[in-house]
Amino acid sequence: MGDALSAYRRKRSASRTPEPMPVAGTPPRGRDDVFVIQEHHARRLHWDLRLERGGVLVSWALPKGLPTDPRTNHLAVQTEDHPLDYASFEGEIPPGEYGAGRVEIWDRGTYDCEKWTDDEVKVVLHGHRAQGRYVLIHTDGNRWLIHRMDPPAPSATAEGADPMPTLLRPMYRTPPVSGS
């Protein structure tokens, strides 16, 4: 088996980014039950879903976040595996670096794995904001779909947790109003 984090290391410079940079070698082993969702204010706002598996965080970028309705699928783009330490990473990736922008933890918790194959990953998330059964379905290359399998719990947002926005409108600069 090769270095599971070689693609991750190849895209980053330890001297220029605050991201975790473990040395090459055998990745640590956890219990394969940690997940994190990070809000990533990069060139385009998106959310990164990371699931612990085999000593790394298998990762997908979710341009529209997690679907809240089982009738809607969202795009999930698989990215390089990340080190386990990334599950607690928050910070500013400097301009000019891969993934430049602010990274904040949106939610984290544990998950139960119901199925994990090359074409389908079925999990139950147990987080503060993200709870429920989801399936990632491989469609082509690094493109997947993420589908919510159960309806959200009625109290999912009643506890004060803000849901992911459904539409983000850009702010445009407006000229100052001159006196009449």
Contact call for residues 49 and 75 (beta carbons, < 8 A): no
pLDDT attached to residue 157: 46
The reported pLDDT for the residue numbered 85 is 93
Between 168 and 44, the higher pLDDT residue? 44
DSSP label at 12?
Answer: -
pLDDT digits (tens, 9 = 90+) for 64-115: 999 999 999 999 999 999 999 999 999 999 999 999 999 999 999 999 999 9
Name the nearest CA neighbour of 24 among 10, 36, 44. 10
- Higher-confidence residue: 76 or 9? 76
Token output for 59: 């990762």
Q: Which two tokens stand for residue 4?
A: 């599971």
Q: Where are the domains of the chain?
A: 6-13+31-148
At residue 72, the pLDDT reads 93
Q: What gap in Å lies between CA 17 and CA 37, rounded to an integer?
A: 20
CA atoms within 13 A of residue 35's CA, in its CB half-sphere: 24
pTM of this prediction? Answer: 0.81
Mean pLDDT of 25-31: 73
